Amino acid sequence: MLQLNYIRENRDHVVERLGIKNFNEVELVDQIIALDEQRRKTQNQSDSIAAEANSSAKQIGELMRQGKKEEAEAIKSRSASYKEQIKELTEALDKIEKELHDKLIQLPNLPNKLVPRGIAAEDNEVVLENGTVPQLPAGALPHWELAAKYDIIDFELGTKITGAGFPVYKGKGARLQRGLINFFLDEAAKMGYKEVQVPIVVNEDSAYATGQLPDKEGQMYHVVNDDFYLIPTAEVPITNIYRDTIVKSEDFPIKHCGYTPCFRREAGSYGAHVRGLNRLHQFDKVELVQIVNPEKSYETLEEMSSYVQSLLQKLGLPYRVLRLCGGDMSFTSAMTYDMETYSAAQERWLEVSSVSNFETYQANRLKVRFKGEDGKTQLAHTLNGSALALPRIVATLLENNQTENGIKIPEVLVPYVGFEYID
């Protein structure tokens, strides 16, 4: 959530930056500023009357001690309405603050100055490419056919048990999943991330605090009776560890990683581009979360991007890094890098990670604060990234490494899975 004082003091800049995200509801910004002015005016009125009431109470007490009962009663009569006025103003203030909050949460985060203009994915900026796209032999298969050939992933069985988008991993497919998860967690530990195991369902406050609500409500699975939500990413529970806390500045950077299943409804997605593992309702992911000093957050973003790239390099996957344009960014992000691997059998790029800096947007909702060198309390910056999401990693590993002897496992994974080929 954007900070109210920043909106008030930088109205034109806020409007200009929101335009980069193709958010052009200028009237909403002006309504927020007007409501804030009304809020402050009402608060001042209430404070003024409260001060008068306190002053009158002191006068009445003093006059009574002096035996000036008539004068005291006269002041008491004039001040009788103070309590009712304060009550009315408090009720008005509560109403204004609720309306102000409801409008504030409709504003997305402001994009960083480096974020390019654009409407959709085709407008994203390619920052770099790494690796060589493999040349597969004639007759190479996409991963969904390889999964059936080697009996390692059963999409139809998953549909029977639950529905489309919930595959069943079998044999070496299941061991590959487990091996990748452990590999990603071990690599994160080497980089100083503290592993946490967190709930995969969260309450409404947690989903709101990281910005999933109200923006992504339709994309989340909702447990109605308990009013819980299945997490779309471990970002939600991990970041909420620090909700309503004042952290110590000397503890920065706070670094956590965690593995969880993730759940996304992904309603309305059909076609070849979502076949097999390309888009699932349930998938596994190792997530990175950092809470840092604002002065270090963009340095941290670059470090996290480089780290995710190092994982792709170790897996031997060709990849590219994109800086997302304003129109393709999430509601809460100030800047995002996407990492995509090249699927040789499908002849297309597949997103496998997003690494984002939210600046103070999440921290303002979470109330994650720290005390600066001047002793004043201020908001921290939060960042997160996938390191990595498994489905499309598995898809590209299967497709890019298919040989006449089977699917060759990257060398770094062999100790984790216990075999060199899927055959």
Encode pLDDT of 151-178 as tens digits: 999 999 999 999 999 999 999 999 999 9
> pTM of the predicted model, to two decimals?
0.92
Which of the four CATH numbers 2.102.10.10, 1.10.600.10, 1.10.287.40, 3.40.50.720 does domain 4-104 have? 1.10.287.40
Q: Which residues of the chain does CATH 3.30.930.10 include?
A: 121-422
**CATH superfamily of domain region 121-422:** Bira Bifunctional Protein; Domain 2 (3.30.930.10)
Q: Which two tokens stand for residue 241?
A: 């560890």
Which residues, including other chains, have CB under 8 Å from residue 369's CB and lie 6 or more apart? 245, 246, 247, 363, 377, 378, 379, 380
14 vs 104: CA distance, rounded Å: 13
The predicted structure's pLDDT at residue 271: 54
Residues 384-398, mean pLDDT to the nearest whole number: 97
Q: Which residues have CB under 8 Å from 189's CB, separation 6+?
A: 195, 257
Q: How many Å apart are CA 254 and CA 246, to the nearest integer?
A: 13
Degrees (nearest 5) of the Cα angle 316, 318, 321? Answer: 125
What integer pLDDT is reported at residue 307 of this predicted model? 98
Q: What pLDDT score does 55 carry?
A: 86
User: What pLDDT score does 361 carry?
Assistant: 97
Contact 183, 411 (CB under 8 A): no
Distances in Å between the alpha carbon of 193 and those of 185, 228, 261, 284? 9, 28, 19, 18
pLDDT range class, residue 273, cuts 50, 70, 90: low
Mean pLDDT of all residues in 367-376: 92
Q: Summarize the confidence of residues 409-421 as an average pLDDT.
A: 98
Q: In whole angstroms, what is the distance from residue 362 CA to residue 327 CA?
A: 19
Of residues 349, 352, 301, the one with CA closest to residue 122: 349
Q: How far is CA 279 from CA 263, 295, 354, 395, in A?
A: 11, 36, 15, 11
Percent of the chain with pLDDT over 90: 84
- Enter the tokens of residue 365: 């909702």
Residue 267 scores a pLDDT above 80: no
pLDDT of residue 67: 81
- pLDDT tens across 95-132, in order? 999 999 999 999 999 999 999 999 999 999 999 999 99
Residue 270 has pLDDT above 80, yes or no: no
Q: How does the average pLDDT of the chain come out, rounded?
A: 94
Distances from the Cα of 367 to the Cα of 136, 206, 209, 225, 416, angstroms: 51, 12, 9, 28, 40
**CATH 1.10.287.40 location in the chain:** 4-104
Whether the per-residue pLDDT at 14 is higher than 90: the answer is yes
Mean pLDDT, residues 296-313 taken together: 98
Nearest Cα residue to 372 out of 249, 251, 252: 249
Amino acid at 227: D
Distances in Å between the Cα of 104 and the Cα atoms of 32, 251, 389 are: 7, 31, 32
- Tokens linked to 235: 């970002």
**How far, in Å, CA of 408 to CA of 363, rounded?**
44
299 near 335, Cβ under 8 Å? no
Query: Tell me: the pLDDT tens digits for 46-84?
Result: 999 888 888 887 887 887 788 877 777 777 777 778 888
Specify whether the CB–CB gap between 419 and 174 falls below 8 A: no
DSSP state of 74: H
pLDDT digit string (tens) for 206-259?
Answer: 999 999 998 777 899 999 999 999 999 999 999 999 999 999 999 999 999 999
Half-sphere exposure of 408 (CA within 13 A, CB side): 11
